[in-house]
Amino acid sequence: MNIALKCDKITMKFGGLTAVNEFSAEIREHMIFGLIGPNGAGKTTAFNVITGNLKPTSGDVNFFGKSIVGLKPYKIVSMGMARTFQNIRLFSNLTVLENILTGFHHKLQYNIVDTVLRTPRYYKHEKEMRNTARELLKSVGLLDKADLKASGLPYGERREVEIARALATGPKLLLLDEPAAGMNPQETLNLMYFIQEVKESFNLTVFLIEHDMKFVMNLCETIAVLDHGVKIAEGNPEEIQKNPDVIRAYLGDIDA
Amino acid sequence: MNKKTILTVLSVVLLFLFLWYGDGHLSTYAMRIWEEVGIFLMLAASYNLINGVTGQFSLEPNGFVAIGAYVTAILILTPAQKEAMFIITPMVPWLQNLHMSFFPALIIGGLVTAFVGFLLGFPVFRVRGDYLAIVTLGFGLTIRVVSNNTVPITNGALGLKGLPTYTTIWWCWGWAVFAMIVIMRMVNSEFGRAMKAVRDDEDAAIAMGINTFWIKMTAFITAAFFEGVGGGLLASLITIISPTMFTFFLTFELLIIIVVGGLGSMTGTALATIVVIWGSEILRVVEQPMDIFGLHIPGIPGMRMVVFSVLLILIMIFAREGIMGQKEFSWDSLFNFFKKNKVAQK
């Protein structure tokens, strides 16, 4: 199996604070990998380093064999890595369909001159993009919402649109930052099936951060635990549940 | 061509028919205001592209309009005129003998301004937030100081006088319609969606693979081009330009227009331009001396600005997002409106 993402001793320091300390992980293709840890453990920082939003103090990130440290985030997206945000960040004044369309931007096939002159090339590709976007929405079951404003959707659907929008960029690796945050148990369950489904139909590798233990334990094949920026454990769900270091990180020391 | 395109073309033809009729039948004063409306429509639409659609709070128009005005003015003045005008210091020789007709002068004015926008955009769009407003505000002031002191090029504080009056109603509205077409086509394409994405959430836009720096640059440079052309049209309309003419007040007026019309709405901008420009003319009445119920009020200069401000406050209270909000006028919505009325009547 190919290694999709390899983090090699990533360290991220903000002044005197070490948010992530020598984090290493290997994520194989087609797996669902979970990253958990108490609040402030540095999970989102690790995400931001991987997606290129932050430049690590030291360490290396390898994406399908290529080092991506120092590349601009939009460049990394065009290489096949997409992400969602902890607090849903849709383009609220655009419709659902338009939100999806922005995902095609990096492979746009007409230029500004085509746009202003409305050349046949513009019409052809604009139509193609719209059709592809509709197909994508159909495959994730959101087609009937295509022309609604993103801000008007209920919370659970907004999350699904956000994931669909990330899928529009044509990713090989999907990074989800707390996808189940703020959801009720039913929505969480739906989301679990949703992720499972898109993973299969889009042939993805998924890397997610989550607080909801049931969600992580049911969905992920491998889980890594981060505490105070340090990785304290990695393994399958059963191993993680029994790991004394993990229990101590979450519940405190029993002896103390 | 479908029905809607025909309607749009028809309404543009109707607009030009009105202007053609007005050219012969309306007073010179009224036509002068309509010329101003045309120029301001172009300026406001391009300003709305960067401020409303892309969501970058910029205060650049007065600086860019000044550059366009100066470049065009220098190009359309004859060598003899320039020689007579530059009495303190003679003009630099290569500019002294440069002379061309109106259209290329406008284009060059626009291109020079676009290039300045390009250079200015490089440092500013690398950072986010209020820096753009601060830099562009400062830029407007800098242009004023520069044009005051580069006497061999701009004739300093004396300004440039006696510009040939090429600007007619057709130039103004030709450019206005052209600018509207270009800008609206940009807005209704992937580039426009990317601009709106940057406005709504820049981080998410980056995460979608959008090169936000160049998207912002595209909007800024396009706006700069049309503002430069608008400056050239204004210069030839007013026939005199000086460093103190293009102050922050011009930017402020455009800001009023786009806020009243609705940030991000081009059709709203068109409506608001007419309302604001004609409004401030019609309101001149309140500055005349008048008698109300036997009470004599002498003319108070500046009174119309007070009334105008009150109107603006009312708009901000009752239509916070401007006349059109972020919506655009479309034939569909008009048809729907009439359909609904018909149903209601039954």
To which H or E segment does residue B317 belong? helix B303-318
For chain B, the residues whose C-beta falls within 8 A of a C-beta of chain A are 182, 185-186, 189-191, 193-194, 196-197, 199-201, 203-212, 218, 264, 326
Confidence of residue B208 (pLDDT cuts 50, 70, 90): very high
Which positions in chain A touch B212 (Cβ < 8 Å)? 74
Residue A82: its H or E element: strand A81-83
Number of other residues whose CB lies within 10 A of the CB of residue A5? 22
- Closest CA relative to residue B36, chosen from B198, B245, B176: B176
Closest alpha carbon to B155 in B71, B68, B72, B87: B87
- Indicate the average pLDDT of chain B: 90
Degrees, nearest 5: CA angle B48-A73-A1: 145
pTM of this prediction? 0.91
Residues of B in contact with A51 (CB under 8 A): 207
Residue-wise pLDDT for B212-241, tens only, equals: 999 999 999 999 999 999 999 999 999 999
Given a cut of 60, whether residue A256 has pLDDT beyond it is no
Q: Are A197 and A104 in contact (CB under 8 A)?
A: no
Q: Which position has the higher pLDDT, A175 or B329?
A: A175
Decide: helix, strand or coil at residue A51: coil
Q: Which residues of B touch A78 (CB under 8 A)?
A: 209
Residue A247 has pLDDT above 90, yes or no: no
- Looking at residues A152-165, what average pLDDT do you find? 91
Q: Are strands A32-36 and A205-209 parallel, antiparallel or unpaired?
A: parallel
Residue B344 confidence class, pLDDT cut points 50, 70, 90: low
**Interface-testing mutation among A91, A136, A162, A167, with chain B (most B C-beta atoms within 10 A):** A91
Question: Which residues contact residue B259 at a Cβ distance below 8 angstroms, ignoring those fewer than 6 apart?
Answer: B316, B322
C-alpha distances (whole Å) from B204 to each of A79, B57, B215 are 17, 19, 14
Percent of residues, chain A, with pLDDT higher than 90: 77
pLDDT at B294 over 90: no
Mean pLDDT, residues A141-161: 91
- Judge: A102–B199 Cβ closer than 8 Å, yes or no: no
In the chain, the amino acid numbered A89 is R
Tokens of B1: 């061509």
Q: What is the mean pLDDT of residues B181-200?
A: 95
pLDDT band of residue B286 (cuts 50, 70, 90) is: confident
Q: Summarize the confidence of residues A182-205 as an average pLDDT.
A: 91
Average pLDDT over residues A112-116: 92
ipTM score = 0.91
Q: How far apart are CA A119 and CA A102, in angstroms?
A: 21
pLDDT of residue B24: 84
Question: pLDDT tens digits, residue range B32-59?
Answer: 999 999 999 999 999 999 999 999 999 9
